[in-house]
Amino acid sequence: MGYSSTHFKSINPYTEETVYEVPMHTKEEAREIIEKAQKAYVEEWINTTFEQRAKLLKAVAKEMKENLDYYALPMTEEMGKPINEARGEVNKAAWAAEHYADFGEDYLKPEYLESDATESYVQYISLGVTVGVLPWNAPFWLAFRYLSPALMSGNTCIMKHDSHTPLCAIRIVEAFEKAGFPTNVVQNLMVGHKILEDVIRHPNVMGVSLTGSSKAGAAVGAIAGGEIKPVVLELGGSDPAIILADTKDLEHAADVVVLSRYINAGQSCIAAKRIIVEEPIYEKFIQLLKERFEKLKLGDPKDESTTIGPIARAELVEEMHEQVDKSVAAGARLVLGGERIEGKGFFFPVTVLADVEPGMVVSCQETFGPIASIIKVKDVEEAIKIANATDYGLGGSIWTGDVEKAKKLAGRIVTGQVSINGIVKSDPRLPSGGAKKSGLGKELGPHGIRMFVNTQQVWVGPVK
């Protein structure tokens, strides 16, 4: 369990031992945290320049990169991320800070527009206190995806991290403190759902960002909407990877699809979850995937040679077994895995299911683990139809030898991003966000930094 009525508590999914325990904030303490954030905004942060903010963000990045394992190990211990992946995530979080330090001012520069005014322009002004509600699966990267643009645009940040990763949350705020950030510009908030609602409704909170499930997004979005506050929702996904028969390098396509599916033990919103393969290459591609998945090593996430660590929690393992069992009972072909792993740690076997039909559980629900679902289609039209046959619309990929054809097809896939002959990933330089039940608003790139600003139009007379 992630928290009792009084504490956040993390359990190591490999050793099953307690990693860290921290008292939750009371309603009064939560209110004090908001008031401190507001005071820091009004008295200090609003008066800083882009140059000053950039310098501080670069100092945070330097602090993390120079003390990599200090920041990486809490991920390995609290949610089972293999140590090499955890180090990579800290570096990527640092990159987000550096990117907005370098480009934030340019992204928010005033835009001059012609009108009947002597001068007319749009300027971007910070809002004040923002709240980021974050999940456990990428504790550093997803935090910095919210923090970096929000801070660079001049807002103060309250981070309500997941109850299963409290030590990660503590270390993130520690990095800001060590880098010399002013007091209370970035703070942790340890509360449950009921107090979180009070926090969102607080008059000093001016915007909310949530990365999590569609259910959590709907709840937080409804509260923010009721208060008429801007909200960014980065939610679940059931990403299609469409492999067309004219793909020139199937071996490379298989390498990338396997990486996309197993990274973070498959616990990623933008992983390739439904592998849609055109009939002429169907059986060959299944064999290529099977050969690669068989080589992946499950084990101790602190071991440098481990490619797949444990699943974050025991109940998630049970949920996935249920998804696989129901799909096999409905006619899916079990190519690899599927069996229960006995002994210490919350492990789920690398599993490949072929002959998956759109109505099966693994096709219509989000699978948050190393489960590859392979669907056969007769042609491109059927591939697009199946790709869109989901409530989600986060990302997707198209593999083909005809890039121009793929660019036309991309516009027909209802997702927030499409990769052609490459992995679906998040990148500080490019906007990320979903369609349908995968979310609302954008993070990253020039679009992400404009989520929590007042886009103010200024008209200067007299009339021309």
Classified as helix, coil or strand, 151 is: helix
439, 233 Cβ separation under 8 angstroms: yes
CB 389 within 8 A of CB 382: no
Residue 63 to residue 411: CA distance in whole angstroms:
41
Catalytic-residue membership of 28: no
Distance CA 339, CA 292 (A): 18
Report the distance separating Cα 396 and Cα 390, nearest Å: 12
Taking a C-beta distance cutoff of 8 angstroms, is the pair 443, 234 a contact? yes
**Residue listed under structure tokens 């004219």:** 246
Rounded to an integer, what distance in angstroms lies between the CA atom of residue 304 and that of residue 324?
A: 29
Residue of 63, 234, 278, 443 with catalytic role: 234
Residue 187 DSSP SS3: strand
Inter-CA distances, 444 with 5, 51, 90, 383, Å? 35, 20, 17, 29
Collect contacts of 323-326 with beta carbons under 8 A, ≥24 apart: 323/361, 323/362, 323/365, 323/367, 323/371, 324/351, 324/353, 324/362, 324/371, 326/360, 326/361
364 is catalytic: no
Q: Which two tokens stand for residue 252?
A: 């490379």
* DSSP 8-state assignment for residue 281: G
Q: How many CB atoms lie within 10 A of CB 23?
A: 11
- Give 223-230's long-range contacts (Cβ < 8 A, gap of 24+): 223/197, 224/200, 227/200, 227/201, 229/200, 229/205, 230/127, 230/206, 230/441, 230/451, 230/452
- Which member of 269, 278, 366, 443 is catalytic? 269
Measured distance CA(206)–CA(108) in Å, rounded: 19
> What amino acid positions are annotated as catalytic residues?
234, 269
